[in-house]
Amino acid sequence: MAASKKPLTAPVEPAYWAEACKHLVKKDRVMKRLIPQFEGAALQVRGDAFSTLARSIVGQQISVQAAQTVWDRFAALPRSMTPGAVLKLKVDDMRAAGLSARKVDYLVDLALHFAGGKLHVKDWEGMEDEAIIAELVAIRGIGRWTAEMFLIFHLMRPNVLPLDDVGLINGISQHYFSGDPVSRSDAREVAEAWKPWCSVATWYIWRSLAPLPVDY
């Protein structure tokens, strides 16, 4: 069974990365310090739209390690990670992989949206960020944060500022405010210097807080 599965998509680096780094180093004192620390590192994009969103649902409200374990078990169930294949899975098998009943419902709803043509997948490249977010949050289990992660990690949108991300807020607190509490307004003010590369600056903030890069 495993031999029939499709190979993982090779990681891709955003074409704008070098340009963004030059801008950030010039405009922001923290980025000037952080970016050279991770020379050669960059956001890596892998996987298709469906599997990226499915993985984000699986990982909600559990640790990174637990999410990886559950994802590996779940991903081993279908012959390939496609909407049609997921819809053919038995609920009991999905639950046995470690998924809660609610997450099973979310994954089925996600698969139905893709299989039923309810999403304008082929149009996303030309759509505005907010229009894509509005389409994605209509799916059960996907909120704004998940939609923003999708914009950054799958569509490689360069100027996303995920203000609901705890890691970003903690990183801004640590690097810009000496650990003092940070409001959304404070974060927006800091990010003014990052534009139009907020996604890239956010990635470096995350990278500074974790031994391994964030990956979806």
Do residue 34 and residue 71 come from a single domain?
Answer: no
Give the residue from 137, 153, 169 where a domain finishes.
153
Do residue 173 and residue 195 come from a single domain?
Answer: yes
Do residue 30 and residue 103 come from a single domain?
Answer: no
pLDDT at 47: 76
Core vs surface per residue 151-190: b (16+ CB within 10 A) or e: bbbbbbbbbbbbbebeebbebbbbbbeeeeebeeebbeeb
Question: Is residue 92 one of the residues assigned to a domain?
Answer: yes
pLDDT (tens, 9 = 90+) of the chain, 216 residues, equals 333 344 445 677 899 999 999 999 999 999 999 999 998 889 988 778 999 999 889 988 877 778 889 999 999 999 999 999 999 999 999 999 999 999 999 999 999 999 999 999 999 999 999 999 999 999 999 999 999 999 998 999 999 999 998 889 999 999 999 999 999 999 999 999 999 999 999 999 999 987 666 666
Give the residue from 116, 136, 153 where a domain finishes.
153
Do residue 178 and residue 131 come from a single domain?
Answer: no
- Write the single-letter amino acid at 42: A
Distance (Å, whole) CA 47 – CA 67? 17
* Residue of 181, 161, 157 lying closest to 43 (CA atoms): 157
Interval 104-132: pLDDT, tens? 999 999 999 999 999 999 999 999 999 99
For the domain that residue 116 is a member of, what is the CATH number? 1.10.340.30
Question: Is residue 103 one of the residues assigned to a domain?
Answer: yes
* Residue of 109, 111, 122 lying closest to 84 (CA atoms): 111
Domain that holds residue 109: 49-153
| H helix count then E strand count, the chain | 12, 0
pLDDT at 91: 97
Contact 75, 50 (CB under 8 A): no
Any idea what DSSP says for residue 101?
H
pLDDT at 6: 44
For the domain that residue 182 is a member of, what is the CATH number? 1.10.1670.40
Number of domains present in the structure of the chain: 2
pLDDT at 209: 87
Do residue 144 and residue 165 come from a single domain?
Answer: no
Do residue 169 and residue 145 come from a single domain?
Answer: no
Do residue 78 and residue 113 come from a single domain?
Answer: yes
Do residue 148 and residue 170 come from a single domain?
Answer: no
Do residue 123 and residue 201 come from a single domain?
Answer: no
End-to-end Cα, the chain, rounded Å: 25
Question: Is residue 189 one of the residues assigned to a domain?
Answer: yes
Question: Is residue 178 one of the residues assigned to a domain?
Answer: yes
Give the residue from 133, 153, 173 where a domain finishes.
153
Question: Is residue 6 one of the residues assigned to a domain?
Answer: no
Do residue 68 and residue 124 come from a single domain?
Answer: yes
Distance (Å, whole) CA 99 – CA 89? 13
pLDDT at 3: 38
The single residue listed with the structure tokens 């003092």 is 180
